[in-house]
Structure formats: structure tokens, C-alpha cells
Amino acid sequence: MRTYNYKNNWQKLLTPEIVAMLTQIHEFKGKQNLFIESKADVLTGLLDIAKIQSVESSNKIEGIYTSDDRIKKLALEKTHPSNRAEEEIAGYREVLKTIHENHDNINVTPNIILQLHRDLYKYGVSSKGGQYKSSDNIIEEELSDGTKRVRFKPLEAWATPQAIEQICEEFAEVLKDDLIDPLIAIPMFILDFLCIHPFGDGNGRMSRLLTLLLLYRSEYIVGKYISIEKMIEETKDQYYETLQMSSIGWHENENDYEPFVKYMLGVILQAYREFSSRVQILIESNLSKPERIARIIEDTLGKITKQEIMQKCPDISDTTVQRTLNELVKSHKIIKQSGGRYTSYIWNRED
């Protein structure tokens, strides 16, 4: 029978690699939380971009799409959903908004999890929101030949309510007594949540929303400014691989949390690094807008797209970015590669 005991399982996770990542994240947290508190007004652009990317990427992982223009309008509450996919996208936006604005007052309990899941499906006529699964479910993967195989069999439906209550109690207990670094406890909790798979639908999106909530409550708020969901989407294969590795032997209490913990720490660390890079360009530099664009390209190892440049400089208009790119190409400072929607640029280091 599966049991949940984080305080007896976390110390073996303190490998040299994980300890090094924890140390770096702690350093980023100390420096950047102070910066965010003093400069929050100038980071509005990053907030909006992260919100759009989070809403888009977390749904895209689950195969839920709409157009780029519709995603932006839905994420920023400038339109209403027009179909089922957009209803689910708008629902994610609502829960994300709740977490961004109220995380200090939201303890992770079974009732809160049910309420957030209910709000995930607040649009449309679906009745599946806010209810645990009523029948057993399985996690399948589709093979290259189109056939499917069972990747993992989650906890039975009858055992789900008690299991969610147990992981919430265990998580609260270890954090209350400062027994575990939250950065280790959070992915352990999320792995168990995903292995329980408490809902008929929406488990993946709920796991990412709960990740943000738990990080924010432990004062790791980088996810407000850099989309952690997008980073997971961009490494989706690794995400699923480490999830599968850490779920082997889960029912028998023999699973190894390390692959998934290490993956999530890598995502969080990369988010802090990206935030540091964007802040340095956006705030700490006295360069003009064209000079900032040139610096971004020069500091990029390899190619970069126009969209990626705009993500790093949310205060610079599309027109200014395009004009600057044209001028840099004309002066041979950068090299334009490919064309159309896949156009990218690279700094000319031989000029």
C-alpha cells in the first residue's frame, strides 16, 4: 500500500548536483526578490508576457490550442472564449490569476485543490470541475505506429480522496517544522499528485498551477515574470521521461524522486537565470533601445529570433525591433538566417 513520508525520503536526494542547484537558486532568490520589491512597476511587461506564455504553454502540452492572437486576448482578458478549447484556456487563466493575486492566503488543502480544479472548468457546460475521478484511469502514450500502451496506472478512484488528504498533510508538516527545503518538497508533492492522478481530466494543468502556488508561497516568485510552464513545454520530452523514471515502483513505495526533482530544479534555475538576463537588459542598462537589441543578439550564443528578442524587451515595439534588425543586417553587424516565420539572426563575430 502506498504511503507518503517526505521527511524520511528527502536526505538521499541531496546529491552534489542537486545541492549545487539549490545553492544557486537560493542566491538568485535573495537577490531578485529584493529587486522585484523595489522595481515591480517596471516589470509589468514581463508579467504580461509570462502570463500569456503560461496560459498558452500549459494548455499546449495537453493538446489544447487556439491562434496566437486569441491566446493573447484570452490571457489578458480582452475577449471571451468562443469554443471548448478556448473555454479551457480561459479557465487556466482564471486559476493562474487567483494564484498570482492571492497565493499568500491559499494553503494547499484538498478543498483548495478541488476549488481550483472547479475554476479550471468554470467556462462552458462541463460538470467535471471540482470533482475527483469517479472511475479508475490510466496514463497512456501513443507509439510511432499509432498504437497505445499503458505508461502508468494511477491510484484507484476509491483511494484518491484519502491520498490527496495525506500528501497535503505531509507537505504541510515538513514545511511547518522546516524539515525539508521547499525546493525539494514541492516536486516530491507534485510527483505524488501526478501519480495519484486525482481527476478525470486536467491533472497536468493542475500540477503546473500547484507548482506555481507552492513556489510562490515559499517566496520563489520568478514564475510571475518568466513562464515556468513554457520552459516545461520546451523540454516536454525530458519532463515526461523524468516523470516516468520517478514513478517506477511508486505503488510499492520504491520509487526514486531524484530524476523528477532534479528536472524541476533545473527548470526553476533556468527561469531565474533568464529573469536575471532580462532584468539586466531591461533595467540596469543605460543603453538606447537599438543598442539593447544589439546587445541581446551579441550576448546570444547562436541564433535568436525576432520573437525571442521581443520577449526579452517587452517595452520595445515591434516596429523598433524590426527597424533595428534591418539596420544591423545592413551594417553587417548581424547575419540574417533562413526566412519567413523561421527567420533568425546571429551576431557577426568575423566582421
Q: What is the pLDDT of residues 156-197, one digit of tens each?
A: 999 999 999 999 999 999 998 777 899 999 999 999 999 999
In this structure, the answer to whether residues 238 and 184 fall within a common structural domain is yes
Predicted TM-score of the model (pTM): 0.85
Give Cα 124 to chain centroid, integer Å: 25
Q: Are residues 309 and 219 in the same domain?
A: no
Among 256, 281, 306, identify where a domain stops.
281
Assign residue 313 the CATH number of its domain. 1.10.10.10
Neighbours of 303 (CB within 10 A): 17
- Percentage helix, strand, coil for the chain under 3-state DSSP, each rounded to 5: 65, 5, 30
Has residue 44 been placed in a domain?
yes
pLDDT tens string 289-313: 898 899 889 888 888 999 888 877 7
Helix 203-217 vs helix 84-102: crossing angle, to nearest 10? 10
What would the pLDDT profile of 79-137 be if each residue is shown by its tens digit?
Answer: 999 999 999 999 999 999 999 999 999 999 999 999 999 999 999 766 679 999 999 98
Residues 115 and 46 in one domain: yes
Examine residue 1 and state whether it is found in any structural domain, yes or no. no
309 and 187, same structural domain? Answer: no
Q: Are residues 70 and 197 in the same domain?
A: yes
- What range defines the domain where residue 300 resides? 288-347
Strand 148-152, strand 344-347: pairing: unpaired
Question: Helix axis angle, 203-217 relative to 110-120, nearest 10°?
Answer: 120
Give the count of domains, the chain.
2
Could you tell me if 292 and 275 lie in one domain? no
> Which of 263, 281, 299 is where one domain is finished?
281
Q: Are residues 272 and 325 in the same domain?
A: no
DSSP state of 310: H
Q: Give the chain's length.
A: 351
Residues 292 and 224 in one domain: no
CATH number at residue 72: 1.10.3290.10
The answer to whether the CB of 274 falls within 8 A of the CB of 308 is no
Give 63-120 as a DSSP string: T----HHHHHHHHTT-S---SHHHHHHHHHHHHHHHHHHHGGG----HHHHHHHHHHH
Do 46 and 78 lie in a common domain? Answer: yes
> Could you tell me if residue 191 is inside a domain?
yes
Confidence at residue 170, expressed as pLDDT on a 0 to 100 scale: 94
Q: CA–CA separation, 93 vs 74, rounded Å?
A: 8
Q: pLDDT tens digits for 227-274?
A: 999 999 999 999 999 999 999 999 999 999 999 999 999 999 999 998
Q: What are phi and psi of 41, to 5 degrees?
A: -65, -30
Query: What backbone phi and psi angles, to 5 degrees, belong to 333?
Result: -80, -25
DSSP 161-226: HHHHHHHHHHHHHHHHTT-S-HHHHHHHHHHHHHHH--SSS-HHHHHHHHHHHHHHHTT--GGGTS
Distances (CA, A) of 321 to 87, 220, 244, 289, 299: 33, 32, 42, 8, 16
pLDDT tens per residue across span 187-230: 999 999 999 999 999 999 999 999 999 999 999 999 999 999 99
Residues 268, 294 within the same domain: no
Same domain? For 189 and 87 the reply is yes
Same domain, 147 and 231: yes
The reply to whether 248 falls in a domain is yes
